[in-house]
Amino acid sequence: DVVMTQSPLSLPVTLGQPAAISCRPSQSLVHSDGNTYLNWFQQRPGQSPRRLIYMASNRDSGVPDRFSGSGSGTDFTLKISRVEAEDVGVYYCMQATHWPVTFGGGTKVEIK
């Protein structure tokens, strides 16, 4: 199985400051079809997960442009350019290139 190493575990951030979350899969996420199936999800307290980014760098409709995804192969990053109060929650990376689908352990974003 592909192990998704996500860091940090906890990320205290000052409002208005940037934040970055790293996700490192144990093998390349480039599929034989040429796509990279790396997604980022946000889970606010008490809510279902919400997809923010798909195929590593494509922002979902309705997701604020302060969220961006980058990376390739075995090194991916989710960035929040200026953290707002509504960004509090747990963020997960997920790969769906290889079976089984696997997730990172999650990063808890909180306001300092």
Partner 1 sequence: EVQLVESGGGLIQPGRSLRLSCKGFEFTFGDYAMSWFRQAPGKGLEWVSFIANKAYSETTEYAASVKGRFTISRDDSKSIAYLQMNSLKTEDTAVYYCTRGVRGPDYWGQGTLVTVSS
Residues near partner 1 (CB under 8 A) are 35, 37, 39, 41, 43, 48-51, 54-55, 60, 92, 94, 96-97, 99-106
Closest CB to partner 1 among residues 16, 100: 100
Token pair of 7 as six digits: 């860091």
Q: How far is the CB of 49 from partner 1 (least distance, A)?
A: 6
Smaller CB separation from partner 1, 47 or 112 = 47
Q: Which residues pair with 39 in a beta bridge?
A: 94
Collapse the DSSP code of 85 into the 3-class scheme (helix H, G, I; strand E, B; otherwise coil) and give the result: helix
Shortest CB 76 distance to partner 1, Å: 14
68, containing H or E segment: strand 67-72
Positive or negative torsion for Cα 22, 7, 108, 37: positive
